[in-house]
A and B are shown apart, each in its own frame.
Chain A
Amino acid sequence: MGVPRGVVLGVIAAQFCVPLIALVASEPPTRLGFQMYSGLGSLDVTVEDEHGQDVEYDPAEVFAVSPRVEIDWTRRLPERLCAIPGAAQVTVERPDGLRTVRC
């Protein structure tokens, strides 16, 4: 099998350019950046009843895996948590966004 020199050099360039772009082009942690255990990013979820008291729930019944902080959980999570009995308001907060939903 011939040696695809251009392909090899192109792959090597991509191996370093993709994580570099992921690191500098947006707020870490980001996908494809190999930013393991950087300590960055956070996710705060609050489920309240109609009196403003916290409603307990089991995260294992909602999430398929421990929630990754780079995912935009404001998109679908509030509606899902509104299905918890007693939930009246759900707030999902990430470093780059906050969404509050009245159930």
Chain B
Amino acid sequence: MLRLALHVDPRPVAVARIGLALAALINTLEMYALLSGLAAGKLAMPLTDWVPSVSHVAVQVVLAVGVTASVSILLGVGTAAAAIAYSLTMGTVLLWDQQTYSSHQVIVVLLIAYLAFARSDRAYSLVSRGRPRREVPWWPQLLMMTQLSALYLFAGLSKINHMFLPGDALAGWMRYPLPEWVYQPMAVATIVTEMGLLAVGLWVPRLRMVAVVAGMGLHLSILTLLADSTIQLVAFALACVPLYPLFLARPSLRRYGQDDPGPLMTGAPGPTLS
């Protein structure tokens, strides 16, 4: 039985908040550039014909909401409202035109939606300065972790195909040419890392430090080796890696005995940490 009523240390989710805010800021600017192109007359691909076309005024509104919400989340001021505003606005934009869709945009929208309930401003924020640190509900963090696991799992699963496994696809994406024999082992290592170490290993106490190092290595290699979309991939890394502390600090999923209340958690809402 999952222990959804747990309350835990706010610092790991505050780290996640900061990373997600930076990712949201980058994604907002990326979306602004894309929507500006559509408003300027580039080919629109609406989901259905009755969706209103993209206008310059609407693009400015999206930019204003996205930047304001991202900065608010980053500073931890009005975090819940900002997170809801960002998720609703960018979620709508994702339905506006088919070209706005991308996995790194979707994952940030989803994670920030969960963040709205996480009380992540109780650490490392303007509103928490000078106040005693209070615990936060764990269930939003659980949703953030399972969402990240789903992302890594299906990213790995979808790579098990005739194009990726032999390394042919990887070879075409490289910033610098590497020896031909490197690509197939690199492809296999990518799949093993995503599906084994990140989707599963982050949940296993004995494996999670190895998984964290592997995950950081994966994202660093993505940034350094892939030739295109570097800014978007920076946002993707900022959305994923700062969530690793949630796995490192998570309470046990099992019920603890009376003598072992588990790390940094209580069953009561919002007590003050000593």
Point out residues on A near B: beta carbons under 8 Å: 1, 3-5, 8-9, 11-12, 15-16, 19-20, 22-23, 28-29, 31-40, 61-68, 71, 73, 75-77, 80
Contacts and interface: CB of A to CB of B under 8 A. Distances in A.
A15 B43 contact: no
A29 to B, nearest CB: 7
B216 interface: no
19 contacts: A8-B4, A12-B146, A19-B154, A28-B158, A34-B103, A34-B150, A35-B155, A35-B158, A36-B158, A37-B155, A39-B159, A61-B42, A63-B99, A64-B43, A64-B44, A71-B45, A75-B45, A76-B43, A76-B44
B169 A37 contact: yes
Contacts of A1: 117, 137, 269
Nearest to B39: A64
What's the dominant secondary structure at chain B's contact region?
Answer: helix
B169 A8 contact: no
Interface string B220-264: 000000101100000000000000000000000000000000000
A77 B153 CA distance: 33
B101 A3 contact: no
Contacts of B269: 1
B163 interface: yes
B143 interface: yes
Contacts of A63: 42-43, 99
Interface residues of B, number: 46
A35 B163 CA distance: 13
B173 A64 contact: no
A43 to B, nearest CB: 12
Given A8-B2, A34-B106, 5 more contacts: A15-B147, A34-B151, A62-B42, A64-B38, A77-B43
Interface string B164-198: 10001110010000000000000000000000000
Contact of A3 (B38, B98, B139, B150): B139
Given A23-B157, A76-B43, A39 B101 contact: no
Given A65-B99, A68-B99, A34 B143 contact: no
A49 B240 CA distance: 47
Nearest to B107: A34
Nearest to A75: B45
A34 B158 contact: yes
Nearest to A22: B154
B42 A64 contact: yes
B37 interface: yes
Nearest to B101: A31
B142 A36 contact: no
Nearest to B146: A12
B168 A68 contact: no
Contacts of A22: 154
B102 interface: yes
A39 B143 CA distance: 29
Contact of B143 (A11, A65, A73): A11
